[in-house]
Amino acid sequence: MSTPTTDKHAFKAEVKQLLDIVIHSLYTDKEIFIRELISNASDALEKLRHTQLTEKEIYDDTLSLEINVNTDDKAKTITFQDFGIGMTREELVQNLGTIAHSGTKAFLQAIESGQKPEGLIGQFGVGFYSAFMVAKSVKVFTHSWRNDAEHLIWTSDGSGNYEVETTDGQRRGCKIVIELKDDATEFCIESKVKNIIQRYSSFVNFPVNLNGEKLNTVQAIWTKNKSEITEEQYTEFYKYQASAYDEPMFRLHFNADAPIAINALVFVPGQNTERFGFGRIDPGVSLYCKQVLIDDKPEKLLPDWLRFLRGVIDSADLPLNISRETMQDSALVNKLGHVITKRVLKMLHDESGKNPELYEKFYKQFSAFIKEGVATDHTHREGLAKLLRYESSLTEAGKTTSLEDYVTRMKESQKDIYYLHALSRSAIETGPYLEAFKARGIEVLFVYEAIDEFVMSYLVNFKEKKIVAADQADLDLGETDKAPEGQSLSESEASDFTAWLRQSLGERVGKVETGKRLVESPVIALNNDKMATPAMRRMMKAMHQEQGHEPLVKMDLEINPRHKLIQKLNALRTANPEKAKVLAEQLADNAMLAAGLVEDPRVLVNRLHQILEFAAE
Ligand code: ADP
Ligand code: MG
């Protein structure tokens, strides 16, 4: 046995400053010292494991690689023991007497730049020194991995000095005994400590035992190879991590070393609870560094529209003590989020091909998020657009197509992608808008929800094809294959007629023209304001009408000079101008009705009564 010696040291100035802040400020996140000490223990075990690979002579080589936490509510202590690499005298002085750690330095810089320490500690963590938030004194008993290393005790009360003494009988690794302050005695209560360990350290790579009971029973399967994991383990992990009861629908398990180290395991849940009106889902992909939790609900890791995902993203490249504030500007965190988002999009796209029925189920539950993404996330818009599904004029009712498939069906002469919005398939099929496209064999997507119109207008393009509303005024659809049958008004008759119609309708409409679009219908209302989607127009209209103004958005009318009704109306306007004017009004209203833009149903109904009277004569 060596003669005990005591070495007195003063902390380096910056450590003193740090300890002063830690000890004298009010803080809310005291509990994070447990996370910090367990993660140090885990690091030390990891280092030992590494050393074992290259060194033959290791002190106490039969000890198992585990972490033991013990609480003692009589002595008011909490102890962290690991059988890891341990520290030599020089290492004690170097590692615990100075600040090497970048997170802690960043913490000090934040304080120096005038930020209040309250709350910052929990966000940064201050590594080993966080123990002094709760400690009257800290003792580190240690023996480094070498056989000939000293048995040492490092002691400090955090007040400026520390001592290193030689002692005897130490096992390999570190045992850190914390004598708790009077206002921190909750940390010698087993149940309290158990909760904290389970929250932060459930997936630490080595067994974590609290008073002899192993706490981390769920493995950090995201770090493993896919082939080592069974379906049941995946599901069990999902349920544990997401506190969920359903079965996950899809999962993405992804490991990479370069350009950044990522181990990610994320799930699409079986249910979208936002649909049931449970309110906005909190983001649920937790951020870890080497199996130690950094943030269980990071707001800025993934885009908002991916808030339905559950799971874990772990990167060994992240500093454990990255702050939640700096996380937002961290290039590394952005990169992580971007890589995972792209992977998730690809996974969903792949599944839609491999597993269309399951994908359809997914889409029913989660399409709102995809659409939200298209509207809000420019970076991933293209990938998101591939996930959209719509009915179309070529699908059966209830069946959908992707935009990619639509594009493959486009004719050579077709430049744009067309869509129509209405509340139902039958409303589109019986309305006047589809016929021009049908006559030319052009496919039209059917969109039924208001958000879909926004989605279409945000998309603008898909695969370099413009996305265009089929009720747009200035569409060049080309000639129809079959020339429409029957007589037509002559050109001069038609121009007189349109002039008369425009005059009769007054300020209600924009331009009135003849056109080639219509086959079966006499008239169609077209949108001449490209910026206004039909949904926007209806909204503007509603707002405007409430205020009792003229209609704000005017639609153009296109008439079909081959239609019997138009020809008869043309004759009537000289024979019976008054009657013709009533019919003209109704013609315009019918067009508006088909556009979903009826102005005042009472006016319309009264006029219909008048027309019925004519008919009954
Ligand atoms: P960090 O863990 O980020 O390096 P800490 O303040 O938590 O910063 O720890 C400082 C250093 O002290 C560690 O880098 C490590 O070298 C040493 N250390 C802390 N705890 C232990 C331990 N249980 N075993 C061995 N070395 C340790
Ligand atoms: Mg640490």
Asked if residue 140 has its Cβ within 6 Å of ligand 1, the reply is no
Query: Are 204 and 228 within one domain?
Result: no
Per-residue pLDDT at 200: 84
Question: How many angstroms is it from 100 CA to the middle of ligand 1?
Answer: 10
Query: Are 442 and 319 within one domain?
Result: no
CATH number where 205 lies:
3.30.565.10
What is the token pair recorded at 377? 């996330």
Q: Which atom of ligand 1 is nearest to the CA of 39?
A: 2
Q: Which atom of ligand 1 is nearest to the CA of 82?
A: 23
Per-residue pLDDT at 96: 92
Asked if residue 534 has its Cβ within 6 Å of ligand 1, the reply is no
Query: Are 189 and 53 within one domain?
Result: yes
Query: Are 308 and 453 within one domain?
Result: no
Residue 478, in any domain of the structure: no
Q: Taking a C-beta distance cutoff of 8 angstroms, is the pair 114, 18 a contact?
A: no
* CA-only gyration radius of the chain, Å: 36
Report residues near ion ligand 2: CB below 5 Å: 40, 127
Q: How far apart are CA 336 and CA 333, in angstroms?
A: 5
Residue 483, in any domain of the structure: no
Question: How many angstroms is it from 181 CA to the middle of ligand 2?
Answer: 22
Residue 290, in any domain of the structure: yes
pLDDT digits (tens, 9 = 90+) for 58-113: 999 999 999 999 999 999 999 999 999 999 999 999 999 887 666 677 777 777 77
Asked if residue 101 has its Cβ within 6 Å of ligand 1, the reply is yes
Asked if residue 289 has its Cβ within 6 Å of ligand 1, the reply is no
Question: How many angstroms is it from 432 CA to the middle of ligand 2?
Answer: 70
Q: Is 237 exposed, middle or buried (0-12, 13-18, 19+ CB in 10 A)?
A: buried
CATH number where 261 lies:
3.30.230.80
Q: Is 45 exposed, middle or buried (0-12, 13-18, 19+ CB in 10 A)?
A: buried
Question: How many angstroms is it from 87 CA to the middle of ligand 1?
Answer: 9
Take atom 14 of ligand 1 and give the residue whose Cα is closest. 95
Residue 539, in any domain of the structure: yes
Q: How many domains does the chain have?
A: 4
CB count within 10 Å of CB 244 equals 18
Last residue of a domain, one of 160, 185, 214: 214
What is the token pair recorded at 81? 């023991």
Take atom 7 of ligand 1 and give the residue whose Cα is closest. 127
Phi and psi at residue 614, in whole multiples of 5°?
A: -55, -45
Q: Is the dihedral of CA 257, 263, 264, 265 positive or negative?
A: positive
Domain that residue 392 falls in: 388-469
> Could you tell which of 65, 95, 200 is best to mutate to test the pocket of ligand 1, judged by most ligand atoms within 8 Å of the CB?
95
Q: How far apart are CA 222 and CA 180, in angstroms?
A: 36
Asked if residue 127 has its Cβ within 6 Å of ligand 1, the reply is yes
Q: Reduce the DSSP state of residue 8 to 3 states and report it.
A: strand
pLDDT of 50 strictly over 90: no
What is the token pair recorded at 335? 């990169």
Q: Which of 290, 338, 332, 327 is nearest to 312 (CA)?
A: 290
Residue 479, in any domain of the structure: no
Per-residue pLDDT at 66: 96
Asked if residue 269 has its Cβ within 6 Å of ligand 1, the reply is no
What is the token pair recorded at 469? 């509303």
> Could you tell which of 12, 39, 43 is best to mutate to test the pocket of ligand 1, judged by most ligand atoms within 8 Å of the CB?
43
Query: Are 296 and 413 within one domain?
Result: no
Choice among 9-23, 145-159, 339-353 with the minimum mean pLDDT: 9-23
pLDDT digits (tens, 9 = 90+) for 99-156: 766 667 777 777 777 777 766 666 566 789 999 999 999 999 999 999 999 999 999 9
Asked if residue 455 has its Cβ within 6 Å of ligand 1, the reply is no
Cβ neighbours of residue 24 under 8 Å, at least 6 residues apart? Answer: none
Query: Are 111 and 206 within one domain?
Result: yes
Per-residue pLDDT at 431: 86
Query: Are 155 and 204 within one domain?
Result: yes
pLDDT digits (tens, 9 = 90+) for 497-552: 999 999 999 888 889 998 878 888 999 998 877 666 666 666 666 665 555 555 55
Q: Order the strands of the 310-314 sheet from edge to edge.
A: 250-256, 262-268, 310-314, 284-289, 292-295
Residue 372, in any domain of the structure: no
pLDDT digits (tens, 9 = 90+) for 140-198: 999 999 999 999 999 999 988 999 999 999 999 999 999 999 999 999 999 999 999 99
CATH number where 412 lies:
3.40.50.11260
> Could you tell which of 40, 92, 201 is best to mutate to test the pocket of ligand 1, judged by most ligand atoms within 8 Å of the CB?
40
Asked if residue 41 has its Cβ within 6 Å of ligand 1, the reply is yes
Query: Are 237 and 201 within one domain?
Result: no
Mean pLDDT comparison of 280-284, 575-579, 598-602, highest-scoring range: 575-579
Query: Are 201 and 82 within one domain?
Result: yes
Residue 371, in any domain of the structure: no
Asked if residue 85 has its Cβ within 6 Å of ligand 1, the reply is yes
Asked if residue 82 has its Cβ within 6 Å of ligand 1, the reply is yes
CB count within 10 Å of CB 161 equals 14
Residue 370, in any domain of the structure: no
Q: How far is CA 176 from CA 218, 343, 356, 470, in A?
A: 26, 42, 56, 72
Query: Are 181 and 155 within one domain?
Result: yes
Query: Are 195 and 122 within one domain?
Result: yes
Name the amino acid, one letter, at 34.
I
Choice among 49-53, 61-65, 262-266 with the minimum mean pLDDT: 49-53
Q: Which atom of ligand 1 is nearest to the CA of 102?
A: 3
Choice among 23-37, 116-130, 450-464, 550-564 with the minimum mean pLDDT: 116-130
What is the percent of the chain with per-residue pLDDT over 90, rounded to a whole number?
A: 58
Cβ neighbours of residue 505 under 8 Å, at least 6 residues apart? Answer: 512, 557, 584, 585, 588
Query: Are 396 and 257 within one domain?
Result: no
Per-residue HEC secondary structure of 343-396 comes to: HHHHHHHHHHHHCHHHHHHHHHHHHHHHHHHHHHCCCCHHHHHCCCCEEECCCC
Question: How many angstroms is it from 98 CA to the middle of ligand 1?
Answer: 11
What is the percent of the chain with per-residue pLDDT over 70, rounded to a whole number?
A: 90
